[in-house]
Structure 1
Amino acid sequence: MIKLLLVDDSELITGGLAVLLGVETDLTIVDCVDRGERAVELCQHQPIDVVLMDVRMPGMSGVEATKIITETTNAKVIILTTFDEDKYIIEGIKNGAVGYLLKNTEPQQLVQAIRSVMKGQSILSQDVLEKAKQGFHPAQKTADLSSLTPREIEITRLVAAGLSNKQIANRLYLTEGTINNSLSTILHKLALEHRTQVAIYYLTGKAGDHDATF
């Protein structure tokens, strides 16, 4: 059973998510809170597997709460954002978020994202990728993939296109284990930490460092 914490200062959002996710037999909602501080406290005092985190809330923001939660607990954070919050994308990822989805994501896609992060994958919706791409002005810098083999570059391209490891394996007629190993090698060569950073780096040439311009 995957234990969820819903964090949003809108009861309409948390209530709607609770109804949508509550029908899934492998998900259980531990609590719904409206403050980043409360989310941190809950994660530090009881087992939470996945946090669905709003960005803008009174007091501690979602990206601030994400940093504390990921540094002090085992909970995985998926940030839920709206189109006008793209400036937080890299900050959220830098603070440890393993997923970044729009609030209008289809329910089944959200459920799949929750299950995917529990398997160690990172999730970034294609719409959010586009926002990152536009915000970084990719023409200013091109990703340096010279350390990668042609096959690794192709895998990187497919990761940036939003494909899962299983989908990439099917596309390239390889085993999923081979893709997992190749992605680990790609992360090491590019000095990145997870697939979300790989996607952003491929699209923008930037890895979300402190010099990123929004």
Structure 2
Amino acid sequence: MTIRILIADDNSFIREGMKIILSSYDEFTVVEMVENGREAVDCCIKGQVDIALLDVRMPVMNGVEATKLIREKTEVLPIILTTFDDDEYILGAIRNGAKGYLLKNTHPERIREAINSVVNGTSIIQDSVLEKIRESLVMDERPRLKFNPEPFTERELNIMESIAKGFSNKEISERLFISGGTVANHITSILNKTALKHRTQIAIYYLTGNV
């Protein structure tokens, strides 16, 4: 199956460079390139897109706002493409349903793996992005909840910790010596207990107590 990708970035150099990188892989086809979030949403609504690769800082509509509308109105899976100084947008993107978080200096093979993982149902957050989230939360002086482990089994807590460290379902199954299906079942249980929507929100909840 060819994965159809939209690239949204107001920097034409980034757009063209990313198109060249992604087009070098047989499983990807770049079907649209736009320069703001509004155009990205419109293209996704029209169809023919599987993955929306979104910058966060764009004119007209940023990537966080675009992510929310894309998730509400389409089946397209949004992935945020960010830089270190964009961390203030990342928590908003998580709440809005972004499925991945990549840095613009990410190695092409890592981008490839991340896109394929998202298509196959796994949310991706890089360790460096997760660290920026931690730093932002530490610096944030608003009242913060303390994570409450009581509703969760020991196995669920182990899985939540592994998710917070950035491990994939496959890596978690290998670390805990359980099947991938068992990992998925525990994650479903965690989501049901917390009313969260996906594994990246589990990571934030585990680290901060906030949803």
TM-score by length of 2: 0.94
> Hey, what's the Cα distance between the residues in 1 that align with 2:14 and 2:135?
27
Deviations 1:85-104 (CA, angstroms, capped at 9, x unpaired):
11111111111211122111
Give unmatched runs, 5+ long, in structure 2.
Answer: none
Q: Secondary structure at the match of 1:5?
A: strand
Q: Secondary structure at the match of 2:78?
A: strand
Deviations 1:181-205 (CA, angstroms, capped at 9, x unpaired):
1111111112211000011111222
Task: Tell me, yes or no, if the aligned pair for 1:2 and 1:27 is still in contact at 8 Å.
Answer: yes
Q: Secondary structure at the match of 1:193?
A: coil
Q: Secondary structure at the match of 1:159?
A: helix
> Hey, what's the Cα distance between the residues in 1 that align with 2:107 and 2:152?
35
Matched residue, 1:85 = 86
Matched residue, 2:57 = 56
> Hey, what's the Cα distance between the residues in 2 that align with 1:141 and 1:68?
28
TM-score by length of 1: 0.92
What does residue range 133-148 of structure 1 map to in structure 2 within 5 Å?
133-137=134-138, 140-148=144-152
Matched residue, 2:23 = 22
Q: Secondary structure at the match of 2:53?
A: strand
- Code of the residue aligned with 2:93 in structure 1: it is G
Deviations 1:137-188 (CA, angstroms, capped at 9, x unpaired):
2995431121111111011111111110001101111111110111111111
Q: Secondary structure at the match of 1:85?
A: helix
Q: Find 1:170's aligned residue among 149, 171, 174.
A: 174
Aligned residues: 207
What does residue range 1-214 of structure 1 map to in structure 2 within 5 Å?
1-137=2-138, 140-207=144-211
Give unmatched runs, 5+ long, in structure 1.
Answer: 208-214
Task: Tell me, yes or no, if the aligned pair for 1:137 and 1:204 is still in contact at 8 Å.
Answer: no
Runs of 4+ in 1 over 6 A off after TM superposition: none
> Hey, what's the Cα distance between the residues in 1 that align with 2:207 and 2:128?
13
> Hey, what's the Cα distance between the residues in 1 that align with 2:209 and 2:131?
14
